[in-house]
Amino acid sequence: MKSSTRRVSLPKFQGIYYRKSTKRRHMGKPDKCFDICYRNQEGKLIWEKIGWASEGYTAAIASHIRAERIRTLRHGDELPKHKTKEVTLGEVWERYNHWLETGRSRPRDERSYYKQHLKDRFSDRPLSKISPFDLEKVKIQLTKKGLAPATVKHMLVLLRQLINKAIDWGMWEGENPVKKIKLPKLKNRRERFLTKEEVDILLDELKKVSMQLHDMALLSLNTGMRAGEIFALRCGHLDFENDLIHIADPKSGRARKAPMTPTIKTMLQIRALEKPEEFVFKARGGGQIKEISSTFSRIVERLGFNKGITDPRQKVTFHTLRHTFASWLAIKGNSILTIKELLGHQTLAMTERYSHLIPDLKRQAVEGIEEILKFDLKFDVKTHSKETPDTPTKKSTTTTRGGGLRRAPKRGHRSI
């Protein structure tokens, strides 16, 4: 018994035939196999099996393949190739999002920026269709909405990183449009730091409400640790033998160590009673804290620290504690290099903001030169004021009765 019936032509599709299977079933009916026929360059009739309907083939697909075969025979290498589908930003993001798990230390921020500012605008757009003009428009739109320059900059930096990765991974070839965009300049350097009295009041109020929040604030004030670094701190990062805190996942990506003060050491010894992999400070569910509790902001407002202040750089936030740590170090006369290392800054330029607080030691250094060299200089004020170092001393002369000048006699000779 034959496995299929004889070929049947399809009037709508030239050169397309189908055969019904006597054994295969598809959608409750006999499966259909599509064939095409055409003549080669020698005029010989060629029959070619395309595939079964159960495999997803249709008469339209078979007709498209037949047309490709005929064009290839007629034009050979001159046959224009079909352009491959161009990758979209959304497709790049799918791979980038997977890479975030192993390639980045703070994936949560990037996912948030993509979802809020890039997904709806560009996810379905091919990379070649994202122009510098489009990005300039987005910059203006976000700025008019009142978004901070830092937010706009982070969005553009993320887009630049996405396209760079697409190029690195061989997903796309082209020029990154973000290169032609001027990133917003940030003016978010905090200038305000707390006084000793303000710190005492703040810590007292925090202690009344949340001992954990109090200890986190105390740790930042004594080490300059960022909130995210405190959230990521585990018991195994504490070296009580050498009084050091190992900051493993800093914002800069470069691990550093922070010395423990006696107060911090005592506090951490009480808290670090768990296993090494456990977090020192935990969220309510026992996992890692994601953000500073709103309790901190409420206490700051209640104390009136931000009353009448509209400039965000002058407002007290949890990050102000890190800024206070650095400012106090500068006031105490510590060098910029020391402050840079303790803060974990990548460059000295990031630490320069504290230089104006460092006491002016230049004058003290110069004034100490005289003491070091033990100079005991005595000047004749009248003589010194009339002569200059480069003016040679004049020879002594006397005046004669007639008003003429004559030289003074040499030592050991009498005048005539």
Q: Which of 310, 360, 305 is nearest to 331 (CA)?
A: 360
pTM of the model: 0.54
User: What's at 403, amino acid-wise?
Assistant: G
Phi and psi angles of residue 288, each rounded to the nearest 5 degrees, phi first: -80, 140
256 forms beta bridges with: 247
Q: Which of 57, 53, 49, 62 is nearest to 26 (CA)?
A: 53
Residue listed under structure tokens 């050491």? 265
pLDDT number for residue 399: 47
Parallel, antiparallel, or unpaired: how do β-strands 45-52 and 256-259 relate?
unpaired
Can you spell out the DSSP letters for 288-346? B--S--HHHHHHHHHHTTTTT---GGGS--THHHHHHHHHHHHHTT--HHHHHHHHT-S
What distance in Å separates the CA atoms of residue 65 and residue 37, rounded to the nearest whole number? 11
Residue 300 Cα distances to 205, 297, 369, angstroms: 9, 5, 48
Enclosing H/E stretch for 413: none
In the sheet with 8-9, reading across from the earlier edge strand, the strands are 8-9, 16-26, 29-39, 45-52
Token code pair at residue 101? 């798990």
Q: Which of 339, 335, 341 is nearest to 324 (CA)?
A: 339
What distance in Å separates the CA atoms of residue 215 and residue 197, rounded to the nearest whole number? 18
pLDDT number for residue 358: 74
Q: Is the dihedral of CA 195, 196, 200, 201 positive or negative?
A: negative
Judge contact between 280 and 267, C-beta under 8 A. no
Give pLDDT tens digits along the chain (416 positions): 567 788 999 988 999 999 999 888 887 889 999 999 999 888 899 999 999 888 888 898 899 999 988 888 887 655 445 555 789 999 999 989 888 876 555 677 888 889 989 999 999 999 999 999 999 999 888 888 888 788 888 899 999 999 999 999 888 988 999 999 888 876 656 678 899 999 999 999 999 999 999 999 999 999 999 998 999 999 999 999 999 999 987 766 678 999 999 999 999 999 887 788 899 999 988 888 988 999 999 999 999 999 988 877 788 999 999 999 999 998 888 888 999 999 988 888 778 777 777 776 556 666 666 666 655 555 455 555 544 455 454 444 444 444 544 555 554 444 43
- Would the CATH topology of 89-180 be identical to that of 196-357? no
Judge contact between 214 and 207, C-beta under 8 A. yes
Q: Which of 250, 245, 217, 190 is nearest to 321 (CA)?
A: 217
Q: Is 89-180 in CATH node 3.90.1300.10?
A: no
pLDDT number for residue 100: 82
pLDDT number for residue 85: 72
Q: Would you list the domain boundaries of the chain?
A: 8-78, 89-180, 196-357
Fold of 196-357: hpI Integrase; Chain A (1.10.443)
